Chain A
Amino acid sequence: MDGGAAAYIDTVGLTKKYGDFTAVDRLNLQVKEGEIFGLLGPNGAGKTTTILMMLGLTEPTSGKVRVAGFDSTRQPLDVKRIVGYLPDNVGFYEDLTARENLRYTASLNFLRMKQADKRIDELLEKVGLAHAADQKAGSFSRGMRQRLGVADVMVKSPRLVVLDEPTLGIDPDGVRHVLELISSMSREEGITVLLSSHLLHQVQQVCDRVGIFVKGRLMAVGPIQTLGQQIMDGKPTTIEVQAEPLTDQLVADVQKTDGVVSVQRSGGMLLISCQTDLRKQIAEKVIQSGATLHYFRVQGFGLEDIYMKYFREE
């Protein structure tokens, strides 16, 4: 595994059992300093449990987790000092204003109030809530709460930010805003980010690497671009092609290519099953026939397909 001793988050055989149910099963995960790591998995896969163990909020049944060299179980305070955690469904004290909520967080981190106030103003500005700074948090919409959550996490100037389902339940515009915030802060301040989600497209947009997490086990880890190839390489794939004009001659030509198993027409789309990755050959065939290529996609190389594959397998 890449990282090794330099890993910022390092779990070794991390296991958590609730009675007979194993929530996290012998997890070995390394996250490097400064990267944005996406923890992908369906609900109930053990993502939140893993995060809670990293923060020392839950004790592992066995195994170890180290964050920045601190043992999360034994030195939770040292870990919490440098980690900002945004729980899913983050809540604020509704009868306090946005600013007061952040000030409370600052006081729990023993920040000097003068500096904290300055930082809070900056952060509220950054997340686009400066206009609502003195409104009660109870009046905030879900998207605003989430952005306030991002600001809240940043108050303590963390080295690592852990976000549990940061985009859950907010509209696409809000999602974009939150993700932009996360990645820009990570780049600007060199913060390591661990992001958990079950919404892969969003993870795809910002993460350097992802880990796919199903039923407490880590199924695959790597950069998204190569993850598909890693898993799907050498396996039968289906290529989707949309071309104009779609002549019978072209269909027959494609059929004759080495490695093509079958060609199906569904609507204006050709579904070509092949034994290996034949994208190059098929694309050439289509162009040679004089048709215009409108759409071309390999099933099974996108994150979604990987994701679906694992979820179905289980």
Chain B
Amino acid sequence: MFGLLPVFRKELADHLSGRRFMILFALICVAGLSATYVAAQSIRGDVSGDRESGFVFLKLFTASSGVLPPFVSFISFLGPLIGLALGFDSINSEQARGTLSRVLSQPIYRDSIINGKFLAGMVTIGLMLLSIGLLLGGLGLRMIGVPPTLEEVLRLISFLGLSVVYVAFWMSLSVLFSILFRQTATSALAGMAIWIFAIFFLPMLAGIATDSLVPMEQDAPAAIQLQHEEMRQMLSRVSPSTLYQEATIAMLTPHIRTLGPILLEQTRGMLPNPLSWTQSLLVAWPHVVGLIALTLICFAISYISFMRQEIRA
């Protein structure tokens, strides 16, 4: 790991002092604060009726009044933007400016550069999300006056961790593009194309593809309907955004017992009490693993192609 530390330190300083970071942070602050404010308003409105279900604090992040989507949706939508912005020019801009060959001629291993950049990006994402999480928690605490329980704190931390992984996936994707494409504009556009595709088109396409794979009549038997729904979910889970959304729902809504379709018969005899934190984590675990795997795959491909890349000035 020769040379990792100086690269990491410089990249982190670049990220944190950069204008790009300020803009993104401002954007996510505005989105988060308004979403939480609206959520807190609506919680205050009906907190009396909702008393038994508990977990009021978590609702800050998931409740929506219809005017504004909840904070969770904002992250699932804006997270990719943060990730892409942090990574899309990480390698190719250095190539274009001629700094890469200068840095590579210093006595450091070549992988320290890409490792340092990834690590700095991850830490930046972590800092950004942690601070926004604390900020919103503080705001919510003032507004609704209900302190979070330990369980809720654990769930929030898992939610933030999950978000870091999710944004890190988009960052590693954009770093990959910055290695594959020489032009920063091309890599930014490629990243955005994938983002739009994963968020808007993939769920639609999943629906269309399911209709042809598992045709379903209006009054189809339950088995077919179940199969249809399972297929649609499977396909839409190709999108990392879907994975993230489902996993966060499981983490922030203790009452959710499964992320797949469930039959009425199966709920018979089920106690309507919330799951514990570990059980919720178990429900979301496949999704979490999927997201981590996607991030690692992107990182591995970037790593290999960067190590093999011809360095021409």
Contacts and interface: CB of A to CB of B under 8 A. Distances in A.
A87 B106 CA distance: 12
A81 B107 contact: yes
21 contacts: A48-B313, A55-B105, A57-B101, A57-B105, A57-B311, A58-B310, A77-B109, A86-B102, A89-B98, A89-B313, A91-B99, A91-B102, A93-B99, A105-B106, A107-B10, A108-B103, A108-B106, A109-B107, A110-B107, A156-B107, A164-B313
Given A77-B107, A107-B6, A108-B108, A90 B102 contact: yes
B51 interface: no
Interface string A152-173: 1000100000001000000000
Nearest 5 pairs of A and B residues by beta carbon: A91-B98, A91-B97, A85-B105, A107-B6, A108-B106
A87 B101 contact: yes
Given A48-B313, A87-B313, A94-B97, A152 B102 contact: yes
A60 to B, nearest CB: 13
Given A58-B310, A104-B10, A87 B2 contact: no
A152 B98 CA distance: 14
Interface of A: 48, 52, 55, 57-58, 77-78, 80-81, 83-95, 104-105, 107-110, 149, 152, 156, 164
Contacts of A88: 313
Nearest to B9: A107
A242 B105 CA distance: 51
A249 to B, nearest CB: 60
Contacts of B10: 104, 107
B312 interface: yes
Given A58-B311, A77-B2, A87 B102 contact: yes
Given A58-B310, A90-B102, A94-B97, 19 more contacts: A48-B312, A58-B311, A77-B109, A78-B107, A80-B106, A84-B105, A87-B98, A90-B98, A93-B14, A105-B102, A105-B106, A107-B6, A107-B9, A108-B106, A109-B107, A110-B107, A149-B102, A156-B106, A156-B107
A108 B310 contact: no
Contacts of B109: 77
A86 B98 CA distance: 10
Most chain A Cβ neighbours within 10 Å, of B9, B107, B311: B107
A91 B95 CA distance: 9
Contacts of B107: 77-78, 80-81, 108-110, 156
A109 B103 CA distance: 10
B313 A92 contact: no
A237 to B, nearest CB: 39
Contacts of A105: 102, 106
A249 B277 CA distance: 112
Contacts of A92: 97, 99, 102
A91 B108 CA distance: 18
Interface in B97-144: 97-99, 101-109
A110 B313 CA distance: 24
A109 B313 contact: no
Contacts of B9: 107
Contacts of A104: 6, 10
B147 interface: no
A273 to B, nearest CB: 44
Nearest to B108: A108
A91 B272 CA distance: 63
B274 interface: no
Contacts of A156: 106-107
A298 B310 CA distance: 45
B3 interface: yes
B3 A108 contact: yes
A57 B104 CA distance: 8
Contacts of B99: 91-93
